[in-house]
Structure 1
Amino acid sequence: MTDIKRCRWAEGDPLMAAYHDAEWGVPVRDSRLLWEMLMLEGFQAGLSWSIILKRRDGFRAAFANWDPAKVAAFGAAEVERLMADPGIIRARAKIEAAIANARAYLAFAERGEDFGSWAWDLAGGAPVKGDGVTVPAKTATSEAISKALKKRGFKFVGPVIVYAWMQAVGMVNDHAKGCFRRDAVSPAG
């Protein structure tokens, strides 16, 4: 498998390569998984994705397998428990944001809305394929989605975080030209 060409960021680290090969850029429509990935992107802010991947199981254990109803019920005692958990990123603002974001996520269902459909509608409904050469840090679409998320009460969802999320969940296909996943996750065209 050494002849497989991947995006440069996924080379040299088996964990990153596995994530790249199986998940990154694959369109996700499941609302709960979209929310989980948005939370992980928020925790990643200022860090490398490799750090998040290494702690992914720790995050799932600490945040009740990313069950939004359970996370939304977390209070001060749970925040302190999470602050002491070496299996996650122990940043109080990010932890408190994840709890607030669980409440914001649940508000969608309370209004009879589906978070996944809402997010994909804002993203244009179908994956957008990048040019395979340049990768922006943010776009007008990620800025609009960020603004809409903040209006709905989400935190740690700036346009750069949102763009990274859009890439991760396949709203944008930014696999490099020559990467074996580029056409596999969204056909040429």
Structure 2
Amino acid sequence: MIGRLRGTLLEKQPPWMVVDVAGVGYELEASMTTLVAMPGIGEPISLYTHLTVREDAHLLYGFAREQERALFRALIKVNGIGPKLALGILSGMDEEAFVRCVMDDDVKTLTRLPGVGKKTAERLIIEMRDRFPHWEQPGELAVGTQVPTANVPPRATDPLADAEAALVSLGYKPAEAARMLVGLEEVGTTEAMIKAALTRRLAG
């Protein structure tokens, strides 16, 4: 099991990133919460990770905080919740907001998350009450100076198109993703646009 990686951020293309660790590039999928917390390309980072082994692939997921990984692991134990949906949930709200939704029986807010219908929201509330990890000692995103910085030029991309593609990968339909990004063209980076779109969507 790969539990943590420390290296240099080579690429960030939501919802994916590539981290160089001693010359090996690890491709990880992450929530928008984690991607927004990441530094620039070529900067040192440290991530908590979760490895999923399937017959056709080994999939690695990265998290800026240990709390987020703990909630991800709790979510994928719920019937019908896979890694993709769990990342969509974590992209739409942080751990504390999710706990509040569950404890308050807030089905309405949960159904605003990608791929979460009423029945799924009700199941999350019922099953997650007994599965919450302990949050007393949250892990912090560690950015250390001991990792050498790589001189990696950023790729020329279309932030709006990348943001739309990332929202689709989180579970939104293409037309819905496009609507969510209306008026956010000037927000800045791809990650910032996605986070703003998710925040606006959650606010209803």
Higher strand share: 2
The question of a shared fold, defined as TM-score above 0.5 by the shorter chain, is answered with no
Q: TM-score, normalised by structure 1?
A: 0.31
Higher helix share: 1
